[in-house]
Chains A and B, each alone.
Chain A
Amino acid sequence: QQPVQSPQAVILREGEDAVINCSSSKALYSVHWYRQKHGEAPVFLMILLKGGEQKGHEKISASFNEKKQQSSLYLTASQLSYSGTYFCGTARTGNQFYFGTGTSLTVIP
């Protein structure tokens, strides 16, 4: 049930770009992205719905391939504040929701 994320961890220098992938073996209704900083609660970034609708922050971009049940989160011109663990979350129906395995992102000066 749990979606798989890749890579598990990535280290970037400020200004570099990164892509985080999320893959599910089941048909998805939507994909969510959250960021969690150490010791804090997860914070919402974006929702991608089946059919193409998106809701989220303007500076975050992501894609959702409904046929492949895959989503990618694109982080461009990374800043130190982007550091944290990124989780995708997937909903198969309106209610059941599962978070992915997580990707640790570290941005260094």
Chain B
Amino acid sequence: DSGVTQTPKHLITATGQRVTLRCSPRSGDLSVYWYQQSLDQGLQFLIQYYNGEERAKGNILERFSAQQFPDLHSELNLSSLELGDSALYFCASSPGLAGINEQFFGPGTRLTVL
């Protein structure tokens, strides 16, 4: 158990809908990262927050947005969902910056768009 929690574990929805994925980092970790992993694909970095502020953006679509709240939990919002958004979404946390700290991954949220 990494100490990172993600909810829900599974999510099934229809095209055009909007969903929110939630992540609670390990106690004491200030950084939260979001990744997308499509079937048999690698991990695509979406976005990183540090202590409530956005610090780095990767391949995140404009239909997606995220935020980190004062209690350090984070939410990833996916809107106008398309079939291609079906994937496993991982959240990870670390004490500080990505370059010098290991990341602890949550169990992931599997999103299926029908």
Interface residues of A (CB under 8 A from B): 1-2, 29-30, 32, 34, 40-44, 47, 49, 55, 87, 89, 91, 93-102
Contact = CB atoms under 8 A, between A and B. Distances in A.
A95 B98 contact: yes
Given A41-B106, A43-B105, A97 B45 contact: yes
B98 A97 contact: yes
Interface of B: 2, 33, 35, 42-45, 48, 50, 55-56, 58, 90, 92, 97-108
B43 A42 contact: yes
A96 B58 contact: yes
Contacts of B100: 30, 47, 49, 91, 94
Contacts of A32: 102-103
B103 A44 contact: yes
A44 B106 contact: no
Contact of B2 (A41, A89, A102): A41
A99 B35 CA distance: 10
Given A94-B97, A97-B33, A41 B90 contact: yes
Contacts of B2: 41
Contact of A96 (B43, B56, B103): B56
A42 B33 CA distance: 13
A96 B98 contact: yes
B56 A97 contact: yes
A72 B2 CA distance: 26
Given A100-B42, A101-B42, A95 B99 contact: yes
B99 to A, nearest CB: 4
B42 A30 contact: no
Contacts of A42: 43, 90, 92, 103, 105
A93 B99 contact: yes
Given A2-B42, A42-B43, A102-B42, A55 B102 contact: yes
21 contacts: A2-B42, A32-B102, A32-B103, A41-B2, A41-B90, A41-B107, A42-B90, A42-B92, A42-B105, A43-B105, A44-B103, A44-B104, A47-B102, A93-B99, A95-B48, A96-B48, A97-B48, A97-B98, A97-B99, A99-B43, A101-B42
